[in-house]
Amino acid sequence: MSRTTRARRAKREPVGRWIDDRLGVAKLARTALNKVFPDHWSFMIGELGLYSFVILVLTGAYLTFFFRASTTEVTYAGSYDALRGVRMTEAYRSALDISFDVRAGLLMRQIHHWAALLFLASIVVHLGRVFFTGAFRRPREINWMVGVTLLILAIFNGFAGYSLLDDQLSGTGLRIAYSIALSIPVAGTWITSLLFGGEFPGPDIINRLYVIHILIIPAIITVLLTVHLAIVVRHKHTQFPGPGRREDNVVGERMWPTYAAKATGLFFLTAAVVCFLGGVFQINPIWIYGPFDAAQVSSASQPDWYMGWLDGALRIMPGWEIRAFGFEIPNPFFPGVLLAGLTFGLLFAWPFLEARVTGDHGEHHIDDRPRQRPVRTALGVATIAFYVILFLGAGADVLSTTFGLSVNSVLWTFRFAVFVAPVVAGSVTYRLCRELCRRDGLPMASKVSWGEIPSRLLGRHRPPDASPHPAEPDEPMPTHDELV
Amino acid sequence: MTSPEPTSGGAAERLAAACFLLATAAAIGLAVVYWRGGQTQLEGIMLAVALGGIGMGIVVVAKAFLPDEEATEAREPLASPEAEVAKLTADLESGEAPVARRRVLVASLGAALTALGASLLFPIRSLGPRPGRGLKTTPYEGGRKRVVRADGTPVRPADLPEDGVITVWPEGHTDAADAPTLLIHVRPNQGFRPRPGREGWTIGNIVAYSKICTHVGCPVGLYQAAEGLLLCPCHQSTFNVLEGARPIFGPAARSLPQLPLALDAAGYIVATGDFSDPVGPGFWDRER
Ligand code: FES
């Protein structure tokens, strides 16, 4: 040991010693530092979500120092000429002040918005990764459900966030949300009255959304993120098949030092990207939209991307509603409540549905390659196609003006495409998966005939052999090299 | 990946140091920009370079100097051994059994907790008023009211040219979210047909409909005078003004409610009552 290292060690030791004398954590810390993480680029997508959340909390905290969630009417007198003298709510004025009169305020606002978009994007892509690699299977069902809950919370919080500013666009969005909630049978009028403090626009909604946006949902997200990560630590990360990789081990990089350094580097790089976007690319220019006015039209208003599918569904839905015995189920209930409920309900249930159908209730720590599960992969791609069409449907008016088509024909195209595209995308994917497997000589998941699925879902299926683990490619694949 | 060679180590060290120094410069630059009054784009770029420099530097260090060997860790079975579970069950039961046997205790505790839980729900009721008739009425309710523009001025039929449209409110309520109304002057030759029972609701060819879309409540904005169609910008619902603002395309399922019009003694347009139907988006007991 050289003299310098010894000197350094002598200086460092007392602090570590001091802590360990009081907590006795040396062993625990060493276990943590030696934890092994499998290395694959797709395993870092979830990390991006974590990092954007950190950025959201930091920038968001800064914004709270200036934002006023109040609907009190004031007259603008700030430094943006076009709105001087205009009556507006205090919420909108403080958002303008953040944008024009607080130094670095606009930067923080825009970083916050971009980070929110990235947060949602990484959650969705991460969910896709987990789905297509089968990383939701036993023992990870709980963590899958925690993850889906996080997605729902993130969507709600994103919406709550941009509804606070009380500009024309967000006011319109809030009115749509109000009407969707109002459409819920029996409870709708109560839910909206309690949430908004009365009829739209309601005296309390901005103030309440603020508490929800900056306290309640972030607190729940923080807790669930912690749980999410703790469960990952408990389970140890899944890994792709490869040399020496088995169901009963984890092959990868130790937490300390390399993995930790890379993760830290990734955090800084993520922060750099959103700061660049926030500085250079304008987002949500509320001063152009003006203050909210219930009688004023804001044409071609587009929501943030993660709400696009909902907006598209609202447009594509034909003008049907159910009326009987003097009661009615209004039109927006179907795309706005039922579709969203089905979407997230199916997501929650997926690990269990799949296990029932395949009869595979065993533990899995080796990830599937998507091609080896043609049916799951095809269903996943079909679902994505469905939501992409809905998302594009949200831009039907823009599409029709851009290409000079009538809105009617564009909407009718979407009404068909929303059913056709998933079928096409799904069956192409299915073919492709089988073809790729054949080419690579990979074993494929054993087939379940479509006719059997209902009885399996109902749990009435008797497998011909009594073995609890039917033929499943649990073992590492023969063609290691190209999998790594 | 192979372990780094000494020469490339030197290059990597210089690269990483350059990244860190660049980050330092950018951070100082950020301070200067901020100090001199701030400029959003420059601030963003400086911040990005400062953060990105640190990130890049760390990644370079990690790739060049930190160990890169593959490690393997055993994955122990997750489920606890039977004996462990049995012991835990026994421990839990040592607290449970003495109570569980006493039925009255369990039942009364259950009742207490349920009652407490239910009583904690009551404060939710304070959040908002009982949804009442308010959803079905607007400030037009209760007798004749002049309709006025946003600035509060009343309207004469002559103020509205053919094909003209203006937004009006009941006098004194220009901020009511459920009251915006479209006054439309349809051309006489367009074949406007009033709904049965609403023959007297128009003044000449001036007809009034709620501006709040029956889909999800956006203000219906665009009047295509040539066809007599009203278009909602939000989800493209289209209403036929000539036939009682019946929806002819898009997701809206109900006509825009109509407002009965008349003239007062001074020749201004008044509403003689509330809209024909509840305004705006539908709800469960709208027709009750
Ligand atoms: S609100 Fe008018 S079409 Fe949706």
* Domain layout of chain B by residue ranges: 6-69+83-127, 145-271
| Distance, CA of B209 to CA of B258 (rounded, Å) | 4
Write the CB contacts of B104 (distance below 8 Å, at least 6 apart in sequence): none
CA atoms within 13 A on the CB side of B70: 15
What's the confidence (pLDDT) of residue A484? 29
Question: Strand, coil or helix: what is B7?
Answer: helix
Q: DSSP E strands: which ranges in A223-309?
A: 249-254
Kindly identify which residue of chain A lies nearest to residue B49, measuring between CA atoms.
A272
Q: What is the dotted CATH code of the domain comprising A43-297?
A: 1.20.810.10
Nearest to A111 by CA among A264, A304, A263, A281: A281
Contact A265 B59 (CB under 8 A): yes
- Is some CB atom of chain B closer than 8 A to the CB atom of A192? yes
Nearest Cα of chain B lies from the Cα of A230 at a distance, in angstroms, of 14
Which residues of chain A lie closer than 8 angstroms to B217, CB-CB?
175-176, 178-179, 200
Q: DSSP E strands: which ranges in A161-248?
A: none
- Is some CB atom of chain B closer than 8 A to the CB atom of A472? no
What is chain A's pLDDT, residue by residue, as a tens digit (484 residues)?
456 666 666 565 688 899 999 999 999 999 999 999 998 999 999 999 999 999 999 999 999 999 999 999 999 999 999 999 999 999 999 999 999 999 999 999 999 999 999 999 999 999 999 999 999 999 999 999 999 999 999 999 999 999 999 999 999 999 999 999 999 999 999 999 999 999 998 889 999 999 999 999 999 999 999 999 999 999 999 999 999 999 999 999 999 999 999 999 999 999 999 999 999 999 999 999 999 988 887 665 678 899 999 999 999 999 999 999 989 999 999 999 999 999 999 999 999 999 999 989 999 999 999 999 999 999 999 999 999 999 999 988 888 888 888 888 999 999 999 999 999 999 999 999 999 999 988 777 766 777 777 777 777 665 554 444 444 444 444 343 333 2
Structure tokens at A87: 């009556």
* Whether residue B281 has pLDDT greater than 60: yes
* Closest CB from A266, A319, A397 relative to B251: A319
* CB-CB neighbours of B146 under 10 Å: 19
* CB-CB neighbours of A397 under 10 Å: 21
| Distance, CA of A215 to CA of B7 (rounded, Å) | 52
Question: Strand, coil or helix: what is B283?
Answer: coil
Structure tokens at A149: 């809950």
Q: Looking up tokens 């190209």, which residue turns up?
A: A482
What's the confidence (pLDDT) of residue A400? 87
Q: Looking up tokens 């290059």, which residue turns up?
A: B11
| Distance, CA of A444 to CA of A442 (rounded, Å) | 6
| Ligand 1 contacts CB of residue B231 (under 6 A) | no
How many interface pairs between A and B have CB atoms less than 8 angstroms apart? 271
Q: Which CA distances in Å does A90 have to A158, A197, A474, B19?
A: 21, 18, 60, 44
Q: Looking up tokens 């069956």, which residue turns up?
A: A427
| Ligand 1 contacts CB of residue B216 (under 6 A) | yes
Q: What is the dotted CATH code of the domain comprising B145-271?
A: 2.102.10.10
Contact A265 B58 (CB under 8 A): yes
Torsion of CA A418, B215, A409, A425, to 10 degrees: -10
Which residues of chain A lie closer than 8 angstroms to B222, CB-CB?
297, 299
Contact B73 A250 (CB under 8 A): yes
Contact A265 B288 (CB under 8 A): no
What's the confidence (pLDDT) of residue A3? 60
Nearest Cα of chain A lies from the Cα of B31 at a distance, in angstroms, of 11
Q: Per the omega criterion (within 30 degrees of 0), is the bond before A422 cis?
A: no
CA-closest residue to ligand 1 atom 3: B235
What's the confidence (pLDDT) of residue B99? 84
Residue range B224-231: mean pLDDT, rounded: 93
Which residues of chain B lie closer than 8 angstroms to A266, CB-CB?
55, 59
CA A2 – ligand 1 centroid, Å: 76
Contact A275 B47 (CB under 8 A): yes
- Per the CB < 8 A criterion, the answer to whether A156 and A213 are in contact is no
Q: DSSP E strands: which ranges in B68-121?
A: 71-74
Nearest to B141 by CA among B112, B164, B172: B172
For B16, counting Cβ atoms within 10 Å of its Cβ (0-12 exposed, 13-18 middle, 19+ buried), the class is buried
- Per the CB < 8 A criterion, the answer to whether B218 and A175 are in contact is yes
Per-residue b or e along B104-114, where b marks 16 or more CB atoms closer than 10 Å to that residue's CB: eeeeeeeeeee
CA-closest residue to ligand 1 atom 4: B235
Contact B131 A190 (CB under 8 A): yes
Mutation test of the interface with chain A: which of B19, B137, B182, B218, choosing the one with the most A Cβ atoms within 10 A? B218
What's the confidence (pLDDT) of residue A440? 86
* Closest CB from A264, A297, A411 relative to B221: A297
Structure tokens at A253: 């990089």
Relative to the CA of A176, which ligand 1 atom is closest? Answer: 1
Q: What is the mean pLDDT of chain B?
A: 92
Read off the pTM.
Answer: 0.92
| Distance, CA of B80 to CA of B89 (rounded, Å) | 12
CA terminus-to-terminus distance, chain A: 39
